[in-house]
Amino acid sequence: MKRRRRHKKFDFSLLLINVFLLLLTLITIFPLINILAVSLSSSTMASQVIFLPKGFTLQSYAYIISNKAFWRAAGISILRIIAGPSVNLLFAIFPAYALSKSSRQFRGRTIYAWIFFLSTIFGGGVVPWFMMIRAAGLYNNFWGLIIPGAVAVGNIILLLNFFRQVPKELEEAAIMDGANHFRILLQIYLPVSKAAIATILLFSIVGHWNGWFDGMVLMKDPEKYPLQTYLQAVVVKQPQMSQSNVDWSVYDNISQKTTNAAQIFISILPMLIFYPFMQKYFVKGLVIGSVK
Amino acid sequence: MKLLLKQIGRQWIFHLFIWPPLIMLIIFHYIPLIQGIRMSFQDFKPAKGFFGEQEWVGLENYRYLFSLPSFSEALINTLIISIIKIVLMIVVPVLIAVLLDEVSSKRLKKVIQTSITLPHFISWVLLAGIYINILSPSEGGINVLLNRLGLESIYFLGEGQFFKATIIITDVLKEFGFATIVYLATIANIDQAQYEAAEVDGATRFQRIRYITIPNMQMIIILMTVLSLGHVLNAGFDQVYNMINSAVTREGEILDTLIYKMGFTQFEYSLSTAANMFKSIVSLLLIGTAYLYAYKKHNYVVF
């Protein structure tokens, strides 16, 4: 993109815009700063924390490191973001490729596309969804978090729009050479679609990492909760019922508030580390996939 | 002949690509959809089995549903929350995209964009956990700050009048950055010659925005508005479920949380499903109309 607007003299309105945007940025990420600060504060001063930790201590983290329930849930979530996105990807590239063809090349393509698309705007609701999963034997089963959501239609649509922009000449040349569509997909389409693949992988990983509702209704045993469901029970639900089975008065520097903060921050951490790397891909993939 | 066989052979592989995911979709989406429609006209008893013979009750579930005060309250709450969210989620991202485009330092622009997009990727479970802390009347950072300024504590999540506003504002803060992306992309695609001509004519920043940037964004703004109107019955389950508490049930309950409550804590399966079908059908009509409009007016197609 060409650069425009070269103002030599001092630009007051630009300064104003910059200050406003920085302030807004600060407000937007304030919850993250605050939770980090609370997690690093001592329990007696945690309620006064705004931006910076008070009575700096790492004891909340030390406590969480030895918290088995937290790490078991984290382990389940890690398994989930390995299995889930792999399945999602597998169930996205093949239908996306087929649906990216014209009706002339693949008769019935439009009907199939409608069946896929309709599922995103018309559903039977949460009760029959739950009962179907139970009938399929996936209740209280890790795979209940993976299989019912295996087909992510949004990802398929994004990918198929991306595939459509792959130059037809590449494919025609490959067909001349006797390649079949399986090879064309793997050797021509996938290598040029890295940005789109990265985008849907990111969405899928984020979706699985953040998924909590299915864990809550599909897992009977709390030992099978993924991380977000575990945190939902510990951080959100329990304080509301104002009951805690831990006697915090025996600890000096930590409380439910500071240890909760530490657990929340550890759960955000993978997103924080991961996200800047993926950002350049997903902005590209998102824009190309949605603008036709 | 050989060519024809080759043609069929090529089509076969497409069906092979389509059917495995299609079967999954049928099992986990379309069968529950059909069962859901049936259940909403039945007095569903789980003991008789998901696919078992159930007693048909006609429109009884719907009739009862529409007579429930909690249902109309939830419907009104849903509409209030989601309509304000929709308006703000157009206005704020457009404004921020326009302003962000003015930022001349590339690095600063990148830092701001990365930071404001980040909350989109954090779940409402975690954010609710954080906000419940920050907004707590006795110990929360915001109220501590208010008290220090000599002001009284505000029960952001505990009082009806504040609850809705809190829900709306925190949602906008989480999502506006992500929504900005599409507008920034639109601005980046505006023909630079227009800006160069404006520069020659000595246009001010405000004039440039008013007469070039905004008119060029008009189409995408209308399109995004229409498409988001289709989701007017989604007030945000993840958020409200995790931030609501018993003090604000009447003011805070939305359709989705009510549907969940009916189905999973009151075990009113048919009633919950009827409420869900009501929502599904209205949403289908709205979204269908929205897409039709977008297609007719702006040639927008999904696939």
Beta bridge partners of B43: B55
**Which residue, among A55, A291, A145, A163, has the nearest Cα to B182 in the 3D structure?**
A291
Which chain B residue has its CA at the smallest distance from A278's CA?
Answer: B114
- B157 shares its domain with B256: yes
B303 within a domain of the structure (yes/no): no
User: Which residues have a Cβ under 8 Å from the Cβ of B231 and sit 6 or more positions away?
Assistant: B82, B86, B283, B286, B287
A140 within a domain of the structure (yes/no): yes
| Residue among B36, B105, B185 whose CB faces A128 most closely | B36
User: Which residues have a Cβ under 8 Å from the Cβ of A203 and sit 6 or more positions away?
Assistant: A152, A154, A155, A282
**A32 neighbourhood in chain B, CB within 8 Å:** 118-119, 122, 130
Query: How many domains in chain B?
Result: 2
A258 within a domain of the structure (yes/no): yes
Asked if the model's pLDDT at residue A286 lies above 80, the reply is no
- B9 shares its domain with B95: no
- B52 shares its domain with B197: no
Q: Which long-range contacts (CB under 8 A, 24 or more apart) does B150-159 make?
A: B157/B131, B157/B132, B157/B243, B157/B245, B157/B248, B158/B245, B158/B247, B158/B248, B159/B247, B159/B248
Mean pLDDT, residues A161-176 taken together: 88
User: Which residue out of B19, B96, B133, B243 would a mutagenesis test of the A interface target, given it has the greatest number of A Cβ atoms within 10 Å?
Assistant: B133
- B24 shares its domain with B138: no
Q: What is the pLDDT of residues B101-127, one digit of tens each?
A: 999 888 999 899 989 999 999 999 999
Q: Is A232:A204 a contact under the CB 8 Å cutoff?
A: no
Q: How far is A91 from chain B (nearest CA, A)?
A: 6
- B208 shares its domain with B293: yes
| Residue among A91, A106, A213 whose CB faces B11 most closely | A106
Q: Is A155:A94 a contact under the CB 8 Å cutoff?
A: no
**Total beta-carbon pairs less than 8 A apart between chain A and chain B:** 276
pLDDT in the model for residue A6: 52
CATH of the domain at A86: 1.10.3720.10
A188 within a domain of the structure (yes/no): yes
- B159 shares its domain with B94: yes
- B209 shares its domain with B161: yes
Query: How many domains in chain A?
Result: 1
Question: Given an 8 Å threshold on Cβ–Cβ distance, is A25 in contact with B181?
Answer: no
- B23 shares its domain with B148: no
Percent of chain A with pLDDT over 90: 62
**B181 neighbourhood in chain A, CB within 8 Å:** 283, 286-287
- B152 shares its domain with B78: yes
Q: How far is A99 from chain B (nearest CA, A)?
A: 8
Question: Given an 8 Å threshold on Cβ–Cβ distance, is B14 in contact with A106?
Answer: yes
pLDDT in the model for residue A79: 97
CATH of the domain at B186: 1.10.3720.10
A85 within a domain of the structure (yes/no): yes
Q: What is the 3-state secondary structure (H, E, C) of chain A?
A: CCCCCCCCCCCHHHHHHHHHHHHHHHHHHHHHHHHHHHHCCCCCCHHHCCCCCCCCCCHHHHHHHCCHHHHHHHHHHHHHHHHHHHHHHHHHHHHHHHHCCCCCCCCCHHHHHHHHHHHHHCCCCHHHHHHHHHHCCCCCCHHHHCCCCCCCHHHHHHHHHHHCCCCHHHHHHHHHCCCCHHHHHHHHHHHHCHHHHHHHHHHHHHHHHHCCHHHHHHCCCHHHCCHHHHHHHHHHHHHHHCCCCCCHHHCCCCCHHHHHHHHHHHHHHHHHHHHHHHHHHHHHHHHHHHCC
pLDDT in the model for residue A1: 42
- B271 shares its domain with B133: yes
pLDDT band at A291 (very low <50, low <70, confident <90, very high): very low
Q: What is the pLDDT of residues A151-162, one digit of tens each?
A: 999 999 999 999
Please say which residue of B13, B31, B56 terminates a domain.
B56
Print the domain residue range for B37: 2-56
Average pLDDT, chain B: 92
Asked if the model's pLDDT at residue A5 lies above 90, the reply is no
A259 within a domain of the structure (yes/no): yes
Print the domain residue range for A86: 67-292
B63 within a domain of the structure (yes/no): no
pLDDT band at A285 (very low <50, low <70, confident <90, very high): low
pLDDT in the model for residue A209: 96
Question: Given an 8 Å threshold on Cβ–Cβ distance, is B133 in contact with A98?
Answer: no
**What is the ipTM, given to two decimal places?**
0.90
Mean pLDDT, residues B168-178 taken together: 96
Q: What is the pLDDT of residues B49-74, one digit of tens each?
A: 999 899 999 999 999 999 999 999 99
A60 within a domain of the structure (yes/no): no
For residue B137, count other CB atoms closer than 10 A to its CB.
17
pLDDT band at A292 (very low <50, low <70, confident <90, very high): very low
**A128 neighbourhood in chain B, CB within 8 Å:** 32-33, 35-36, 39, 50, 273
Q: Is A88:A219 a contact under the CB 8 Å cutoff?
A: no
A181 within a domain of the structure (yes/no): yes
pLDDT in the model for residue A10: 73
- B28 shares its domain with B172: no
